[in-house]
Amino acid sequence: MDDINFELADKLGYKRPKSPFRNNDLDFFKKAIEESEKFDNFKHLQLISNSGYKLAFLIFQNGTIEYYENKSNYIVENKIAYFYTTGSKLYFVCDTENFIISHKIREKQKAPFLIPETFSKQDNYYKIFEKFLNNNLEKLDADNRYVLDKTENDPSVIYADGNEFPVQKYIANPNGDKIPLIRFPDNLYIPKVNGSNFISHKLKDTNRRYVNPYLFSGYIGVLFELINSSIISTGSCFNDGTGFPSSEHTNGESIDISFDSKTNSITNLAAIEFAKIRAFKKFHFQKVVINEICKPQISKAGFLDSEITYDKKYHKDHFHFGNFNMSKVENKSKKLEELIGRKNYS
Ligand SMILES: [Zn+2]
């Protein structure tokens, strides 16, 4: 079938979706995308516009990423959609809820650390701190070291860390900055991409289920690059924007990816691990962290020392990808308005 079947749209009585978005609108919309064989900038943008999402990202196979703000009255509240194109086909990848939170910054704490006076002895948090102060924390587990200081308006978050930083405290940025976050889909599975291939993404063993929506558009590009693999992520940040144990996960600005099961050990990385580095670099993640034990293998695979950050202590079972280049995600809202203004089929 050629392009979008607008006749079918008329037959089904399809109109611009009203808010709230109904499921059958989305079903029609997905069908229209499936039936469009050729990528056509105008018609695809028209589809994206009519999908009713407040914000839509379009990720191109070549690394280009564009986003469109839908200014029409028919928008789905608080939802962001992700689309991917190979240049010949458009795919609807997923939609997810959008949150606005206060930008978090880390406050330096001085030792010795005292349990905040506001915590009662019966409080679970008090017990956590007591354990911490007695040097008795067994596991590096964010959930068990996570303390909300509810005495402040926008609660600060405190982690008791047994490592280099005795205590990490995060507070809302005093300048009042707000930032967007989305909830990671727990699983992402897309059949029918290039025949029998599929993308699969899973979040595993983490409550860091939130992430910056722009960075996530780069991650979608990565998943399509690694289309025959199951990618396991141990997440980005919590819904308050913090992301223990790494301070670089604050505000959802980094993502951790587990090593593939094909990798036997840290001294025997499978080819998929090198493919991950290439894919994340292509989609604008400027920082790659892995343990220094991997250095000879990574160098042998052709990466320069300047491209990789080698960590002495951690990252023995996962990569850290961060420093996403936000400037690579282009705002094309004006282009959308111009194109849609040219012709209106509804
Ligand atoms: Zn990390």
Q: Is residue 285 one of the residues assigned to a domain?
A: no
**Same domain membership, residue 88 and residue 15:** yes
User: Considering only CA atoms, which of 224, 223, 211 is closest in space to residue 184?
Assistant: 211
Q: Could you tell me the distance, in angstroms and rounded to a whole number, from the CA of residue 328 to the centre of ligand 1? A: 21
Handedness of CA 9, 11, 16, 22 (dihedral sign): negative
Q: Please state, in angstroms and rounded to a whole number, the distance separating the CA atoms of residues 33 and 50.
A: 12
Question: Percentage of the chain with pLDDT > 70?
Answer: 60
- Give residue for tokens 């679970």: 124
**Same domain membership, residue 132 and residue 224:** no
Q: Could you tell me the distance, in angstroms and rounded to a whole number, from the CA of residue 114 to the centre of ligand 1? A: 28
CA distance from start to end of the chain = 21
Q: Ion ligand 1 — residues with CB under 5 Å?
A: 246, 254, 256, 320
**Same domain membership, residue 205 and residue 160:** no
The amino acid that residue 284 corresponds to is H
**Same domain membership, residue 135 and residue 165:** yes
Q: What is the mean pLDDT of the chain?
A: 76
**Same domain membership, residue 28 and residue 136:** no
Q: Is residue 302 one of the residues assigned to a domain?
A: no
Q: Could you tell me the distance, in angstroms and rounded to a whole number, from the CA of residue 30 to the centre of ligand 1? A: 34
**Same domain membership, residue 233 and residue 344:** yes
Q: Could you tell me the distance, in angstroms and rounded to a whole number, from the CA of residue 298 to the centre of ligand 1? A: 19
More confident site: 71 or 74: 71
Which of 148, 172, 196 corresponds to the end of one domain? Answer: 172
* Residue 216, number of CB atoms within 10 A of its CB: 25
**Same domain membership, residue 80 and residue 143:** no
Q: Is the pLDDT of residue 5 over 70?
A: no
Q: Could you tell me the distance, in angstroms and rounded to a whole number, from the CA of residue 255 to the centre of ligand 1? A: 6
Which of 118, 148, 172 corresponds to the end of one domain? Answer: 172
Q: Is residue 19 one of the residues assigned to a domain?
A: yes
Main-chain dihedrals φ then ψ at residue 261, nearest 5 degrees? -65, -20
**Same domain membership, residue 93 and residue 34:** yes
Q: Could you tell me the distance, in angstroms and rounded to a whole number, from the CA of residue 249 to the centre of ligand 1? A: 6
More confident site: 240 or 21: 240
Q: Could you tell me the distance, in angstroms and rounded to a whole number, from the CA of residue 57 to the centre of ligand 1? A: 24
Q: Which pLDDT tens digit goes with each residue over 170-211?
A: 888 889 899 999 998 888 876 555 555 567 788 887 778 999
Q: How many CA atoms lie within 13 A of 143 on its CB side?
A: 5
Average pLDDT over residues 292-313: 96
Q: Could you tell me the distance, in angstroms and rounded to a whole number, from the CA of residue 38 to the centre of ligand 1? A: 39
Q: Is the pLDDT of residue 104 over 80?
A: yes
Q: Is residue 290 one of the residues assigned to a domain?
A: no
Handedness of CA 6, 10, 11, 16 (dihedral sign): positive
Sort strands 76-85 and 53-60 into parallel, antiparallel or unpaired.
Answer: parallel
Radius of gyration of the chain (CA): 23
Which of 116, 147, 172 corresponds to the end of one domain? Answer: 172
- Give residue 66's pLDDT: 92
**Same domain membership, residue 166 and residue 126:** yes
- Give residue 123's pLDDT: 66
Q: Could you tell me the distance, in angstroms and rounded to a whole number, from the CA of residue 234 to the centre of ligand 1? A: 9
Q: Is residue 272 one of the residues assigned to a domain?
A: no
Q: Per the structure, how many domains does the chain have?
A: 2
Rank 107-121, 153-167, 183-197 by mean pLDDT and report only the highest.
183-197
Q: Is residue 267 one of the residues assigned to a domain?
A: no
Q: Hey, what are 173's tokens?
A: 């940025």
Q: Please state, in angstroms and rounded to a whole number, the distance separating the CA atoms of residues 178 and 181.
A: 10
Rank 21-25, 162-166, 189-193 by mean pLDDT and report only the highest.
189-193
**Same domain membership, residue 17 and residue 79:** yes
Q: Could you tell me the distance, in angstroms and rounded to a whole number, from the CA of residue 122 to the centre of ligand 1? A: 33
Q: Is residue 222 one of the residues assigned to a domain?
A: yes
Average pLDDT over residues 294-315: 95
100 burial via Cβ count (<10 Å: 0-12, 13-18, 19+): exposed
**Same domain membership, residue 78 and residue 38:** yes
Q: Which domain holds residue 344?
A: 1-99+180-259+323-346
CA 83 to chain centre: 14
More confident site: 117 or 297: 297
In the chain, DSSP finds a helix count (H) and a strand count (E) of 8, 18
**Same domain membership, residue 254 and residue 137:** no
Q: Is residue 160 one of the residues assigned to a domain?
A: yes
The amino acid that residue 92 corresponds to is F
The alpha-helical segments, DSSP class H, found in the chain are 6-11, 23-35, 41-50, 124-133, 213-225, 271-282, 295-300, 333-342
Are 271 and 298 a contacting pair, CB within 8 Å?
A: no
Q: Which pLDDT tens digit goes with each residue over 240-293?
A: 888 766 778 999 999 999 999 999 999 999 999 999 999 999 999 999 999 999
